Structure 1
Amino acid sequence: MSHQFTTPPDLATDLTAISQEYRLPGLAWAVSPVDGPVLAGATGQQRTDRQAKVTVHDRLHLGSCTKPMTASMLATLIPDRLQWDLRLADVFPPGEIHEAYHDATLAYLLAHYAGLPPFDEDHQFLAAPEPRGSQAQQRDTFARWALKQEPAVLPGTYLYSNAGVGVAAVVAERITGRTWEELMHERLFAPLELPSAGFGWPGRTHTAEPWGHQWVDGAWTPHDPNGTYQLHPGIGPAGDVYMSILDFAVFAREHLRGLLGSGRLLDQDSYRRIHAPFLPGGQSGLGWGVSTYRGRQASTHSGSAETFLALIVVLPDEGHAFVAVTNAAGGSADAGTRAALSHLVGRFTGARVGT
């Protein structure tokens, strides 16, 4: 699909200045109003050791901004194949998981209330089974191993967990007989027409795509996507999708429109369920961070697997959604990307929303 977009010169100038101020290797950004063309632009380099420029068509790794996407895909399976209150004990045979997880539900997993450890540091994977078989087989093995361990917190207590979203995907795989990758393509990427979407480091599958960067010894160092550092398949559904900034903006606008009653993927009640606090007063929906400002709704997420950084904000009461991605993590990447997003949000709305 060829997305309609415009690049206002003044916005491009402002965002380029912000990117240069924070010394970002590259930056892509987009504004999605409810109607009309997306506003989008890109600046900087695909790699600091090459001259190729970042464009709005380049594929960028989204890290944990994958979580809202996995939650959206799972919502398409409800109520025909899945239910939010489906218990882990209804999916995994007796004795296969720790009894503390028996009553944890699909919604618990997506809202980070299942009690599973974060699995956001390399050392947490050291005791995990050696990866064998297909990606789906490795996810299943990891999920069964993780669910055998003692909970990190009592189920029903909030603890942000990549493993929880990975287990949620395995639940869907077991029920449908389809892999997470197949389900994402069939039920999310194809219906929303996101042709650039895929899995893993974008430069691993497409040689002309941006590389991520890490801050090493005072400089941005390109990360070779074919190197040893890859996300563990067990948490792929929590953080391993890539797509262009234009496709990311389409996804953001779908949730904006869905909350306002004109979404294509789900009905309005389903969108409201995903974006509502899981517990009263909480700040976690199903795959989203949720909050309010001056009585207005905000749904947000950030994502980084230590080489890229992505941000998404959906403001239904303001009629706008925003996305920004840099091909870097560490150093000034966080501050720079948030400054870019803050500039965009402030330009088009009265909101001041953190991510």
Structure 2
Amino acid sequence: MIAAIFALGLQVAAPVDLDAIREKSGLPALGAAVLTSDRILWQGVSGVRRVGERATAQLNDKWHLGSCGKAMTVYLLARLVAEGKLTWESTPRQVFGSRLPETVTALADVPLNQFLTHRAGVPNQASIRRFDAAAGGPDRAGAVFTILSLAPLSDPGESYRYSNMGYIVAGGMAEAVTGQSYESLMKTRVFDPLGITTAGFGNMAQFEANDQPWPHRPPERPMPNRGTLDNPRVFAPAGTIHMSLADWAKFVQEFLRSGRGQSRLLPPDVAKALHHVEPGATYGRGWMIADRAWAGGRAYLHAGSNTMNYALVWVASALDRAYLVVTNSEGERVKDVADEVVQALVQSRR
């Protein structure tokens, strides 16, 4: 049965029947939220944490955000830009200097901004597990150097090519200029200042405890209890973050505020850069871009998946609204379900 809550803790009629949508789709669990820049208008969850078990999903459960975490990585880098440790034009060669191996290609001279907007020409999923081994511990530099030794697929800035590898490079640059791990930087520069307390990296649950949503794959089979149940650790800047719906809302609210010059983390000029989109571009810094009449013009969106979980966010800055959807499964129909939930929330005019 659905659990729903209003921003003030009052039970209210749900703007969408999550139970009906989830039961029709057969998903194990489904969650959603509607928010403005200063409050959560509604949030709800439906279903069970793991198929075959009785434990139900709860409002404070943690959900894997996948590539929706890229916008959070951009926020970290924006904070380092504001601190003068990086610029949007900083290159790996400038940051790593003599540490770079002789095998690096032209990718070492690509500016940070092009890694974040997927215009660096970096290949996407090339053998990320060997990058994990190359990292050799808390330092991601080995993985970054491996990526920078790949042949570019296009000249920098020439074309849009979505690449998780580019975000691993960006995360490594953040580590290089601070001497701290990406995970630690995210906590101190982004999560803690926003009051986000449930954030973590990798799988959300312990198998024996059944204490969080467990990852599934079609046809709704719980993943076996072995391995990390996520991408390798070096993948974190590209998307291994998990947190509760309410905490995710805190980050999206900050993004909404930053578009009006009211960021709590960034000076106005740096915050403004996060919302700048080149003419004709379909991807900004950490966000896909679309023009939608219901959003009053430009909408920011992103989907995220580690092939076992799925998350979706739409942000309509002109309306001061955002919509979040999460589930602990994946597959083509999951995307259709998430789209259906967003459409229903938009039509409810919540």
Does TM, scored on the shorter chain, surpass 0.5?
A: yes
Q: Partner of 2:4 in structure 1?
A: none
Distance in 1 (alpha carbons) for counterparts of 2:179 and 2:214: 34
In the TM superposition, what are the counterparts of 1:72-83 in structure 2 within 5 Å? 72-79=75-82, 80-83=84-87
State whether residues 203 and 225 of structure 1, in contact with CA within 8 Å, keep that contact through their aligned partners in structure 2: no
State whether residues 5 and 37 of structure 1, in contact with CA within 8 Å, keep that contact through their aligned partners in structure 2: no
Using the TM superposition, give the Cα deviation of residue 167 of structure 1 relative to its aligned residue in structure 2, in angstroms.
0.5
CA pair 148-204 structure 1, distance change in 2 beyond 3 A: farther
Instruction: Give 2:32's aligned amino acid.
Output: W
Task: Give CA deviations for 1:201-256 in whole Å, capped at 9, x if unaligned.
Answer: 111498511101100xxx31012464354312232211100000111111111111
Instruction: Give 1:113's aligned amino acid.
Output: R
Tell me whether 280-289 or 302-311 shows the greater mean CA deviation.
Answer: 280-289
Tell me whether 297-306 or 337-346 shows the greater mean CA deviation.
Answer: 337-346
CA pair 317-214 structure 1, distance change in 2 beyond 3 A: same
Length-normalised TM-score, structure 1: 0.88
CA pair 269-39 structure 1, distance change in 2 beyond 3 A: farther
> In structure 2, which of residues 18, 21, 25 is the aligned counterpart of residue 22 of structure 1?
25
Instruction: Give 1:289's aligned amino acid.
Output: M
Using the TM superposition, give the Cα deviation of residue 272 of structure 1 relative to its aligned residue in structure 2, in angstroms.
2.8
2:120 aligned with 1:118, yes or no?
no
RMSD: 2.2
Using the TM superposition, give the Cα deviation of residue 132 of structure 1 relative to its aligned residue in structure 2, in angstroms.
5.8
Uncovered stretches (5+) of structure 1, i.e. residues with no partner = 350-355
> In structure 2, which of residues 104, 107, 113 is the aligned counterpart of residue 107 of structure 1?
113
State whether residues 274 and 288 of structure 1, in contact with CA within 8 Å, keep that contact through their aligned partners in structure 2: no
Instruction: Give 3-state SS (helix, strand or coil) of 1:9's partner.
Output: coil
2:304 aligned with 1:300, yes or no?
no
Instruction: Give 2:273's aligned amino acid.
Output: R
Uncovered stretches (5+) of structure 2, i.e. residues with no partner = 1-6
Instruction: Give 2:214's aligned amino acid.
Output: W
Instruction: Give 3-state SS (helix, strand or coil) of 2:123's partner.
Output: coil
Instruction: Give 1:100's aligned amino acid.
Output: A
Length-normalised TM-score, structure 2: 0.89
State whether residues 202 and 229 of structure 2, in contact with CA within 8 Å, keep that contact through their aligned partners in structure 1: no
Distance in 2 (alpha carbons) for counterparts of 1:288 and 1:36: 22
CA pair 199-128 structure 1, distance change in 2 beyond 3 A: closer
State whether residues 289 and 300 of structure 1, in contact with CA within 8 Å, keep that contact through their aligned partners in structure 2: yes
State whether residues 203 and 211 of structure 1, in contact with CA within 8 Å, keep that contact through their aligned partners in structure 2: yes
Tell me whether 191-200 or 153-162 shows the greater mean CA deviation.
Answer: 153-162
Tell me whether 305-314 or 34-43 shows the greater mean CA deviation.
Answer: 34-43
Instruction: Give 1:309's aligned amino acid.
Output: Y
Q: Partner of 1:47 in structure 2?
A: 50
> In structure 2, which of residues 204, 208, 211 is the aligned counterpart of residue 208 of structure 1?
211
Task: Give CA deviations for 1:54-83 in whole Å, capped at 9, x if unaligned.
Answer: 111001111101100111111111132111
Distance in 2 (alpha carbons) for counterparts of 1:129 and 1:72: 24
2:147 aligned with 1:142, yes or no?
no
Instruction: Give 3-state SS (helix, strand or coil) of 1:145's partner.
Output: helix
Distance in 2 (alpha carbons) for counterparts of 1:40 and 1:129: 36
Using the TM superposition, give the Cα deviation of residue 195 of structure 1 relative to its aligned residue in structure 2, in angstroms.
0.5
State whether residues 304 and 310 of structure 2, in contact with CA within 8 Å, keep that contact through their aligned partners in structure 1: yes
State whether residues 203 and 228 of structure 2, in contact with CA within 8 Å, keep that contact through their aligned partners in structure 1: no
Instruction: Give 3-state SS (helix, strand or coil) of 2:14's partner.
Output: helix
Identical-residue share of aligned pairs (%): 32
Q: Partner of 1:234 in structure 2?
A: 234
Distance in 1 (alpha carbons) for counterparts of 2:220 and 2:310: 14
State whether residues 33 and 40 of structure 2, in contact with CA within 8 Å, keep that contact through their aligned partners in structure 1: no
Work out the number of aligned pairs and report it: 337
